[in-house]
Structure formats: C-alpha cells, structure tokens
Amino acid sequence: MNFTLKIWRQKDAKSQGAFETYKVENISADTSFLEMLDILNNDLVHQGKEPVAFDHDCREGICGMCSLHIDGRAHGPGDGATTCQIYMRKFKDGATITIEPWRSAAFPVIKDLVVNRGAYDQILQAGGFVSVRTNSVPDGNAIPIAKADADESMDAAACVGCGACAATCKNGSAMLFVAARVSSLAKLPQGRVEGARRAKAMVAKMDELGFGNCTNTGACQAECPKQISIAHIARLNREFLSAKLDD
C-alpha cells in the first residue's frame, strides 16, 4: 500500500509549527500505524533528515504513551484502540493521512507530535490515591467487595492516561480522566474514606491547570481508547457536589 502523509512538524515549544508532506510506499496491510512511521523515520534518517518525533512505548495499547491525532480523530480510525493498535488495513490504499499532536492548551507541544502531559500527573498528585502506608493494611479478604462494584471500579481504572479525552473535548476538559480515577476509588470501600477530599482536590487542580469545563457533549467517551463511560463523570459530579454540600 502507498500513502501520502501530512505531518505536523514543530521544532520545539516556542517555535511555530507547520505541516510537511511525505510519501511512504510498499507498506503491508498488516503493518501497524506506528511501524509505518518507523519505516518513514528510517527513510528520513538515511536521507540525513530529522525523523518525526512521536511518543510511543509498549505498542500493546496499555502504556498510554502514544498520542496521535489522525485525520481529525484522537488515536485515528476505529473505536476503542490506541494509536499503536491501528493497522494500515484500516486505510484506503493511496490515501492522504493527516497526523497532528494532541491539541490542548494544557498539553503544550514539546516537539513535532510529542506533547507534555505532566498536567495529568499533577491532577493525580492532588488526590488520586488512597492514603495507606506500606505494610499498614488489613488482610486482602478482610473487606469483601461486591463483584459488580469491583467490576465497575475496574471499568474506570482501565484509563491509560493518554489525554485523548481532553484533546478531543471542545472545551479542553479533563473531566473523563478525573472521573475515571475518582469513580474507580469511589466504588471501593478503601477509597470511600477520603472520597470527599479527593473529589474536591482533583477538580480544583484540574481547574487550576487550565482544563476547560464539561458540557456533556460525550466526545471524550467516543474517542477514549478504553471506552470509559461518561457515567463516571456523573459519579464524579455526585461526589463533588455532596462533598461541597458538606462544607
């Protein structure tokens, strides 16, 4: 298969970026999207040109490192997959493919397609944990948890922190990311103890870092590679409101 690639190139955070056009040829349909970029980059190196910088690591859809906006969609075509899980058979032979970094004020571009997602770490540092010390804990079976609750907690905990939700949201809101953590812990007795404090602290940090507000468009859910439901946002809102009412 052959493709024309329009790729965002940007020297660093301070420079202006622009699209550049590249051709890749003889790509097997079984090649992954990122392998296709590996092939392009190897060609560029042979030509003495700087390869396209993009984030990636595990290539199994779990580390959350890959973060490409492909043809206007976070993580490209197909639902419930990260960029690394997209295969070239999803594209038409001869297609022109546009590749951009996440577009979000809270995720500044570092270089080309690489952005800084440190804001997500900061939100979790504000309260996305259970305050237990190492070794100061009861037996694992001391707290029975209904299977349905554990399963729902796990649904939310599947978040890989890739940033697709905020990058997709027209308001640049990180609500789905925050909700996934708050909701996952809210469904477990271990997480309930600090529930009110957690919801308030994480929402406050999200606001402070320049993420926008949620207007329930549902775009985040549609583009989330782990298909995390906006029902968790509803739970976050409930947690947050009841915490505020108690103030």
Partner 1 sequence: MAFKLDAKIPAGALADKWSNHKAAIKVVSPANKRKLDIIIVGTGLGGASAAASLGELGYNVKVFCIQDSPRRAHSIAAQGGINAAKNYQNDNDSVYRLFYDTIKGGDYRAREANVYRLAEVSNLIIDQCVAQGVPFAREYGGLLANRSFGGAQVSRTFYARGQTGQQLLLGAYAALNKEIAAGSVKSYPRHEMLDIVIEDGEAKGIIARNLVTGEIERHGAHAVVIATGGYGNVFFLSTNAMASNGSAAFQCYRKGAGFANPCFTQIHPTCIPVHGDQQSKLTLMSESLRNDGRIWVPKKIEDVKAIRSGAKKPSDIAEEDRDYYLERRYPAFGNLVPRDVASRAAKERCDAGFGVNETGLAVFLDFKTAIERLGKEIIKQRYGNLFDMYEEITDVSPYEQPMQIFPAVHYTMGGIWVDYNLMTTIPGLYAIGEANFSDHGANRLGASALMQGLADGYFVLPYTIGDYLSKKIQAPKVKTDTKAFDEAEKSVKERIAKLLSINGKQSVDDIHKKLGHIMWENVGMARTKESLERAITEIQALRKEFWKDVKVVGKADDFNVELEKALRLADFLELGELMARDALNREESCGGHFRSEHQTEEGEALRHDDKFAYAAVWEYKGMDQAPEMTQEALDYEFTHRAQRNYKD
Which of 55, 100, 223, 239 forms a contact with partner 1 (CB under 8 A)?
Answer: 55
Closer residue to partner 1 (CB): 117 or 232: 117
224, exposed or middle or buried, with CB in 10 Å at 0-12, 13-18, 19+? buried
Per CB under 8 A, does 196 bind partner 1? no
Contact by Cβ (8 Å): 219, 169: yes
We find the least distance from the C-beta atom of residue 217 to partner 1, in angstroms, to be 26
Per CB under 8 A, does 39 bind partner 1? yes
Residues 141-170 that bind partner 1 (CB under 8 A): 141, 143-147, 150-151, 153-154, 157-158, 160-161
> Could you tell me how many residues of this chain bind partner 1 (CB under 8 A)?
78
Closer residue to partner 1 (CB): 21 or 26: 26
The 10 Å CB-count burial string (b at 16+, else e) for 169-208 is: beebbbbbbbbbbbbbbbbbeebeeebbebbbbbbebbee
Per CB under 8 A, does 231 bind partner 1? no
Looking up tokens 């990636």, which residue turns up? Answer: 56
Per CB under 8 A, does 93 bind partner 1? no
Contact by Cβ (8 Å): 190, 142: no
